[in-house]
Every structure is written in structure tokens, then in C-alpha cells.
């Protein structure tokens, strides 16, 4: 059974940094890709970025490049989303997912429950 648990979300001020974690129970050899998505107020679930498990390569959505990065720690079975220079429009619920590595939610059959991030001025 695949379990994904996000943590680290909280309220921060504009310009702050925050690191989200995704603890997973998936065996590494069975993972193709893990991704971060977010649901911001009034919008559909939005692609944030992905890490390909076999080689560790990452891709971040164009609008977030330069501020967000993805990494992982295999010893801890965790994936991370480092968010810098946060803006009010980053407010939302952040989800991690396991799947085929696409930029659309339908490419990921397994999801966590999400962790909320609020960026206030």
C-alpha cells in the first residue's frame, strides 16, 4: 500500500522560505517519478515540479523556476520542496504524488492528503 504524507506547511510572511516534506512508503525500485502539485484559491490543481527517481533529475514549472527546488533523501524515504522568496500567490495546499512523471494530475495514481501553506504580507 502506497502512503504519502506531506508536512511542513504553515503560515509565513512574504519573502520567507519554507521546506515541505513528503514521507513515502514506496520502494525506490518501483518509483518512476514523484511530483509536487498545489491547489491555490480559485484554481485547479497545478503542477509544481517533479523528480525522476532513477537519475534524480528534476523539473520545475516555468513560473516557479528560480524560487522552488525539489530534492530527496533516500535514507529517510522523503522528498522535499524548498520554496524561497514566497509570495502571496503561493498560498494553497501542496500535495505530493507518485506516478509516471507527467505535468497533469491524471498521471499520478497515488496522492498524499496535502499540507497547507499560507503566505501573508
Please tell me the predicted confidence (pLDDT) of residue 26: 76
User: Which cell goes with 24?
Assistant: 513515502
- Residues pairing with 49 in the sheet: 36, 60
Write out pLDDT tens, residues 13-50.
999 999 999 999 877 667 789 999 999 999 999 999 99
Judge contact between 25 and 2, C-beta under 8 A: yes
Please tell me the predicted confidence (pLDDT) of residue 29: 62
Amino acid at each position: 500500500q502506497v502512503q504519502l504524507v506531506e508536512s511542513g506547511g504553515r503560515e509565513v510572511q512574504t519573502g520567507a522560505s519554507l521546506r515541505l516534506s513528503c514521507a513515502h512508503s514506496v520502494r525506490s525500485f518501483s518509483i518512476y517519478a514523484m511530483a509536487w502539485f498545489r491547489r491555490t484559491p480559485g484554481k485547479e490543481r497545478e503542477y509544481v515540479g517533479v523528480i525522476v527517481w532513477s537519475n534524480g533529475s528534476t523539473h520545475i514549472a516555468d513560473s516557479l523556476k528560480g524560487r522552488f527546488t525539489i530534492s530527496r533523501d533516500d535514507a529517510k524515504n522523503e522528498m522535499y520542496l524548498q520554496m524561497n522568496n514566497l509570495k502571496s500567490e503561493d498560498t494553497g495546499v501542496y500535495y505530493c504524488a507518485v506516478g509516471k512523471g507527467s505535468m497533469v494530475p491524471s498521471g499520478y495514481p497515488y496522492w498524499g492528503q496535502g499540507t497547507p501553506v499560507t503566505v501573508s504580507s
